[in-house]
Amino acid sequence: MVDLNEHLTLLAASLSLRHGLPMEDVIVYATAKAWECQVATSDKHFLGLEQVIFI
């Protein structure tokens, strides 16, 4: 579990504008970027993004 703090919220907003991700997806993606980890998903919203393993 990760706190949705101000830094993460602003990062998520920036990424949402840049990539057009919906809110629930962009929070996951911003968390991965902030923690320098990868997202493993089959959600097509993430297709082609850095740090994403598309299954």
Q: Given pLDDT bands bounded at 50, 70 and 90, which one contains residue 23? A: very high
pLDDT at 6: 96
pLDDT at 16: 96
Place of tokens 């840049």: 18
Backbone angles phi, psi at 40, to 5 degrees: -105, 120
Q: Where exactly are the structural domains of the chain?
A: 6-54
Between CA 13 and CA 54, with CA 35 as vertex, the angle to 5 degrees is: 80
Residue range 40-52: mean pLDDT, rounded: 96
